[in-house]
Structure 1
Amino acid sequence: MNILVLFSYGSLRTIDDVAGFYDDIFHGHGTAEQIEKGVEKYRALEKAEALGSNTYRIGRFLAKRLQQITGEEWETFVANHHASPSIEEVAKECAEIDPKQVVTLGLTPFDSVTGKNAYESRFAKKFRAHHTSTTIVHATSFYDNQLFRNVIVDRAKTAKQWLKEEVRNKAEIVFTAHSKPGTAAAHQKMINEYNELAKHIATELPCEHYHIAYRSGQPAPQRWLGPDVLDVISELAERQVSAVIFIEVLSVIENLEAVEEVTKDAVAKARSLGMEAIQSEYLNDSADFVEALVDHLCRELGI
């Protein structure tokens, strides 16, 4: 058997998982009020949480496609940073299966020292503690996969076309990604990948003026990557930009935090300042996105 492990920040499958998710985020020190507030946010969605539902569907489809392509058996696991099953729990379970090989894949397009790269190290350490011979393949980031780029450009063009004709060609792009703690030097690889993808999308759209922004940064004294997306919106308003297209390029699968900070807060602020505003769609489990992931995995595995 071959195993595919999908890394996730926190793919929740039931409302009962939310309390543990928030408690883990607060390192076991979350107050009852903080945790209940988090539970209420998820309850207010009135549907299954999108990151979890889409991640598990993507996993099932990738296993099916890899089995068709290789003629071998594949099983998928989702390993979470802040939810159950954790990265360590999944690593131990995979080792006990004694697979032919293990392939890991992060469902965000960039390398990150505190995200994808850290998850890989945690998984490998735990897996090797129980199993020393099975090959582990950590699939590289897919920001430069051409099929993936085609998908995200398609969503950007769809968003631009939706704008009023009178402002459509005046629109500027604001790219967003979850901020990271630390200096730019500590995250240079991710920043370079982010800049390269943004430039490609803007060129293909085409859009002459685009801006790199971050969300979820925390206040001083800890340093976080910037500029903050809300500050960028204020600057655009001062320049009397008439329309803006928001494109979230890190969380390509919908999740509560991205929806709150981009789909709601950023769009609402732009509109309150007199701009037409729209966000490109999340990729979720769309057929073209999943096929891009299949293509990326096949290239990584040489099949």
Structure 2
Amino acid sequence: MKAVSSSVPDVVRHASPAAAGGAPYIEQPVAYDAILLAGFGGPEGQDDVIPFLRNVTRGRGIPDERLEEVAHHYRHFGGVSPINGQNRALKIALEAELAARSIDLPVYWGNRNWTPYLEDAVSEAASNGDTTLLAFATSAYSSFSSCRQYREDFSRVLDGTEHDGVVTIDKIRPFYDHPGFVQAFVEGVHAAVAEFIDGGVAPEDVQVLFSTHSIPTADAERSGPRDVDWGEGGAYAAQHEAVAAWVMDRVAQLLPSAAAVPWELVYQSRSGPPSQPWLEPDVCDVIGDLPRRGRRAVVVVPVGFMSDHMEVLWDLDTEAKEAAEGAGLRFVRTPTPGVSASFVAGIVDLIQERLEGRPASDRAHATSLGPAFDVCRPGCCENVRAGFKPAAAGVAP
């Protein structure tokens, strides 16, 4: 990565004094009052499904008839997304790990698209006198939907409200290559590959597919800091590729025969119109082609996902599994980090580095791309369709 200029504006919106100057890394201690667990949100019953999808697609004018095309994924599971339950479990696990380390910080949970909403979480925190917040967004990578959109929502819930100028929200850095996050993928790939090899499948006949959410190509190209040459697919693709390569390297260290196992990055959950280019190839298309390549087994790794929410349960556990069965392939989908001990500990490590003002040179990261910035850079993760909206925790474009 190329160095980023330190010539930045004086103020970052709604930031703590330490972050307000716009430095890439905050290397001084900050006395945060609380943690804001920022989630995507999901329906918790059949009646919630369409209102939830309206929230997700707000401003795009999508009629309910089209939303029903996506709604059947949720309706298949009783209209309940697992994501809220997973965030409840994560909140409990974080509170326990913070207490175990004698870090006296409450955790407030708010969602972007469904109850409990971010507005309510911020209001609750402020009413308790907790006004200097450090947000953990439940998405690991750099892109509009996985980083900037959370920052825009932080700004939205403060702009022009009673909390404007009172509450500050800084954001934990993108954690795509933090050891606590990637450990679950190493363990999952190692176990799956070992099982196939022990079962008589030659290493070169096992295919590992690292799967993540597809996004519009134009958004991908604008992901991450703009003065870094990330290559095709921007920071979003580069970060996933780097993590996948690191995972396979670690697995080969644990299981030397796995060095012969082929792997690639694939995409899933495309939702845009056919006329709009999105990142490819699609996971199911690749699975369908694997027999032609001589593969007998496939390991699907949900590397873009923190927990088993709907895109994992439907697009991988249902559609990708069916594609593998249709192709005559043995299939394993590996675990997401969820509330594993290593991941929860990793989140608290990320919190501690901000509490301590840990120098960037001392921060944990698994790939050569990290550690990511604390304060997002000018022009980071532009939404081509909507342009730049006011956003917290980053320097304005």
Q: Which category describes the TM-score, using the shorter chain as reference length?
A: 0.7 to 0.9
Aligned to 2:215: 180
Q: Indicate whether 1:7 and 2:38 are aligned.
A: yes
Q: Secondary structure at the match of 2:209?
A: strand
Contact 1:254 1:282 in 2 (8 A): yes
Aligned residue pairs total: 302
- Aligned residue in 2 for 1:165: 199
Distance 1:93 1:200 in 2: 40
Cα deviation, residue 237, structure 1: 2.6
Equivalences for residues 195-210 of structure 1 within 5 A: 195-206=241-252, 207=258, 208=260, 209-210=262-263
1:8-87 matched pairs, under 5 angstroms: 8-27=39-58, 41-42=73-74, 44-45=76-77, 49-80=81-112, 82-87=113-118
1:121–1:98 Cα change, 3 Å:
farther
Distance of aligned partners of 1:73 and 1:255 in 2 relative to their CA distance in 1, 3 Å threshold: closer
Of stretches 108-117 and 194-203 in structure 1, the one that deviates more from structure 2 is 108-117
1:3, distance to aligned residue in structure 2 (A): 2.6
* Offset of residue 268 of structure 1: 1.9
Give ranges in structure 1 of 5+ residues lacking alignment: none
Aligned to 1:121: 152
- Structure 1 residue 117 displacement after superposition: 2.0
Deviation at 1:214, TM superposition (A): 0.7
Q: What TM-score do you get using the length of structure 2 for normalisation?
A: 0.67
Please state if 1:145 is matched with 2:198: no
Q: Identify the match of residue 285 of structure 1 among 324, 327, 339.
A: 339
Q: Is the 8 A contact 2:299 2:334 kept in 1?
A: yes
Letter paired with 1:75: V
Pairing partner for 2:239 from 193, 200, 217: 193
CA distance in structure 2 between the partners assigned to 1:233 and 1:52 by the alignment: 30
Cα displacement string for residues 267-293 of structure 1 (whole angstroms, at most 9, x for unaligned residues)? 221232122221112332233322222
- Deviation string, structure 1 residues 48-77 (Cα, Å, up to 9, x no partner): 642111111101221333244344241321
Q: Give CA deviations for 1:159-184 in whole Å, capped at 9, x if unaligned.
A: 22332621152312111111112324
Cα root mean square deviation, aligned: 2.8
The residue type paired with residue 211 of structure 2 is: T
Deviation for aligned residue 1:95: 4.1
* Ranges in structure 2 where 5+ consecutive residues have no aligned partner: 1-31, 224-233, 253-257, 358-397
Alpha-carbon offset, residue 153 of structure 1: 0.5
Instruction: Report which of the two structures shows the higher radius of gyration computed on alpha carbons.
Output: 2
SS state at 1:166 partner = coil
Matched letter for residue 154 of structure 1: E
1:154 Cα deviation (Å)? 0.8
Range moving further from structure 2, 199-208 or 85-94: 85-94
TM-score, structure 1 as length reference:
0.86
SS in 2 for 1:121: helix
Supply the AA of the counterpart residue of 2:141: F
2:216 alignment partner, SS class: coil
Counterpart CA distance in 2 for 1:112 and 1:149 is: 19
Amino acid at match of 2:348: V
Deviations 1:7-54, CA, capped at 9 Å, x for gaps: 222244455433321232353866666667766644543696421111
The 3 A distance-change label for structure 1 pair 71 and 27 is closer
Amino acid corresponding to residue 277 of structure 1 in structure 2 = F
The 1-side partners of 2:144 and 2:175 are apart by: 16
Structure 1 counterpart of 2:27: none
Q: Where is the strand percentage greater, Structure 1 or Structure 2?
A: 1
Asked which structure has the greater RCO (Cα within 8 Å, sep 6+), the reply is 2
